[in-house]
Amino acid sequence: MQRFFWGFMMVTAVGCGLLAAAPDEAFADEQTPADQQPATAPPTPPTLLPALSGPLAANSKPNSYDVGPLGNVYVTGIVSGFAQWQNNVVPGDRGNQADVSNAQIFLNKPTGLVQYFIQAGSYSLPDIGTPYIRAGKATNEFYEPFSQGYIKLAPNDNFSIMAGKLPTLIGAEYTFSFENMNIDRGLLWNQENAVNRGVQVNYTAGPVALSVSWNDGMYSNQYSWAWLSATWTIDKADTLAFIGSGNTKHTTVSSLATPVFQNNEQLYNVIYTHTSGAWTIQPYLQYTHVPVIPEIGSFHEASTSGAAILANYTFDAKSSVGGLSLNGFSLPFRVEYISSTGSVANGAPNLMYGPGSKAWSVTVTPTYQNNSFFARAEFSYVGTKDTTPGLVFGPTGNDTSQSRALLEIGLLF
C-alpha cells in the first residue's frame, strides 16, 4: 500500500509539474479539433489459445464480448478442409479423399484471477505413417467435440493452477493441424500424448518457466501420470526445454486415443528453439521406454530414440520470384528419424512397424496466409527399415515406404 501511495504521489507531482511548465501547449492540445487529434492505437489483445507454432497466425483483431459474471470473453475459431492423395494404402484407408480438417470454436478469458479456455467442434488428426481417420470418427473416438477446456486460477503473473482437459506439455508439435508448421504430425508425435485430463501448476522465475502436472496421460481416465517441464529463455532468440513424463503404475486401458504400450511408457524430450529474422529452427530429441508388463503383452522391455528438425522460413514483402511477390508465403519443413529396440523373438512390444523397426521422414509444407484466409500444400515421404512383415504399408503390410500429397484451405477467424 505504501508503494502504491508514493507511486501515485510521484506520478501526480510529475504531471502537475508538466502542466505548470507548459500551460500553452496543454491549452493548445485542448483546442485542437477532434478530427486532427492523433489516432489512439487499439489495445493489444492478450495471447490467446490454442497456441500456434507458425507459420499460420491467429486473428490479430479477435472479437470480444462482455458476458457479465463470466467476464470479457474472446471468441475465435477455425474452419478448414483438405484433400489428400497417398500410395501404398493400408486396408481400410483410401488413396484419395477429402474431409473437414477443422470446424472449431475457441472461448478465452485470459485475464483476472479466474480464467478459462474452451475448445469445441469437429477435427481430424492427420499423421504421417498412419492411416487417416476421418473427422467424424476422430472427433468422437479421440477427445470428443469438447476437446480441450480448463479453469485457471492466476493470482499473479508468475503462478497459476489449471484443471480440466489440458493441452499437452510433451513434444514439439501440438495436437491440432492448424497449430503446427505442417499439416500432418510427425513420426515422433506418434509416441506422444496429445490431450490429457488433470491438474497443472505453472511457475515462472525470471527466464525459467516450470510446469508440473498430474493427469491421465494418454487420455486413459486413470490419473497416474506425472509430468515435469522446464523451459529456459536464454535470450530473445533462443529457448531450451526439458520435459520428463511417465506412468507411475501399470494399466491395461486400451482405445484409439489410448494406445496401451505408450500409455505405460516413460517419455523424455529436449527441445531447442531459435528464431532469427525470417527463420524459426527447432531441433528436438525424444526417448521413450516401455517396461516388461506381461498383462499387456510386453514380455521384454523396449524403447524408442528419435530426433527431428522442424524449421520455417517466412518470406517478406521484398521477396519475389520472376516479379511475383512472395509476401504472405512461408516454407516450413520437417526431417525426422526414429528407431525402436526389441524383436519379435524376445516378445518386445511393437512401438512402430514391428519390434526393432526404424523410420525416417521428410515433410515440406508451402503455406500462404492473407489475413484470416490460408492455404497450404504438403508433400511427405516416410521410409522404414528392419520392419516386421504385415505391419508396414500397402494392402499386405509389406511395402516399406509411403508418400502423401495434401492441399488444405481454411479461415482463422
User: pLDDT (tens digit, 9 = 90+) per residue, 340-385?
Assistant: 999 999 999 999 999 999 999 999 999 999 999 999 999 999 999 9
What is the per-residue pLDDT for 410? Answer: 98
DSSP string spanning 13-67? HHHHHHHHH-HHHHHHHHHS-GGGSPPPPPPPPPP-SSP--SSS---SS-EEEE-
- State the first-to-last Cα distance of the chain, in angstroms, to the nearest integer: 42
Residue 91 pLDDT > 60, yes or no? Answer: yes
Residue 243's H or E segment, with its range, is strand 238-247
**Residue 41: predicted pLDDT:** 56
pLDDT of residue 39: 52
Distance between CA atoms of 27 and 13, rounded to whole angstroms? 19
Long-range contacts of range 243-247, CB-CB < 8 Å, 24 or more positions apart? 243/169, 243/170, 243/171, 243/267, 243/268, 243/269, 243/270, 243/271, 244/268, 245/169, 245/170, 245/193, 245/217, 247/217
pLDDT higher than 70, residue 94: yes
Residue 9 has pLDDT above 50, yes or no: no
Pair 83, 98: CB distance under 8 Å: yes
Q: Which pLDDT belongs to residue 64?
A: 94
The CA distance from 155 to 173, in Å, is 29
CATH class of 39-412: mainly beta
Confidence of residue 48 (pLDDT cuts 50, 70, 90): very high
d(CA 413, CA 63): 9
When pLDDT is averaged across residues 210-235 and rounded to a whole number, the result is 98
pLDDT for 252: 97
- Asked if residue 32 has pLDDT above 90, the reply is no
| CA 77 from centroid of its chain's CA atoms | 15
* Residue 316, amino acid: D
pLDDT digits (tens, 9 = 90+) for 273-300: 999 999 999 999 999 999 999 999 999 9
pLDDT at position 43 is: 67
CA distance linking residue 52 with residue 178, whole number of Å: 7
Strands in 277-355 per DSSP E? 279-290, 302-314, 320-321, 324-325, 329-340
CB count, 10 Å around CB of 130? 17
- The length of the chain is 413
How many CB atoms are closer than 10 A to CB 55? 24
Q: Are strands 367-370 and 266-276 parallel, antiparallel or unpaired?
A: unpaired
Quick one: pLDDT at residue 42? 61
Kindly tell me if the per-residue pLDDT of 269 is higher than 80: yes
Say what the pLDDT of residue 214 is: 98
Q: At what angle do helices 23-31 and 2-21 cross, to 10 degrees?
A: 90
Question: Which residues have CB under 8 Å from 185's CB, separation 6+?
Answer: 125, 126, 127, 128, 173, 177
The yes-or-no verdict on residue 322 having pLDDT over 70 is yes
The alpha-helical segments, DSSP class H, found in 89-186 are 135-141
Does the pLDDT at position 191 exceed 80? yes
- Distance (Å, rounded) from C-alpha 160 to C-alpha 246? 23
Q: Which residue has the higher pLDDT, 43 or 128?
A: 128
- Cβ–Cβ under 8 Å, residues 204 and 197: no
Secondary structure (DSSP) of 172-235: SS-SSGGGSSSSSB-TGGGGS--EEEEEEEEEEETTEEEEEEEE-TTT-S---EEEEEEEEE-S
Q: pLDDT at position 44, please?
A: 74
What's the whole-number average pLDDT of the chain? Answer: 91
**What secondary structure letter does DSSP report for 136?**
H
Rounded Cα–Cα distance for residues 109 and 99 (Å): 31
Q: H or E element: which one contains 12?
A: helix 2-21
100 strand-pairing partners: 81
DSSP letter at 294 equals G
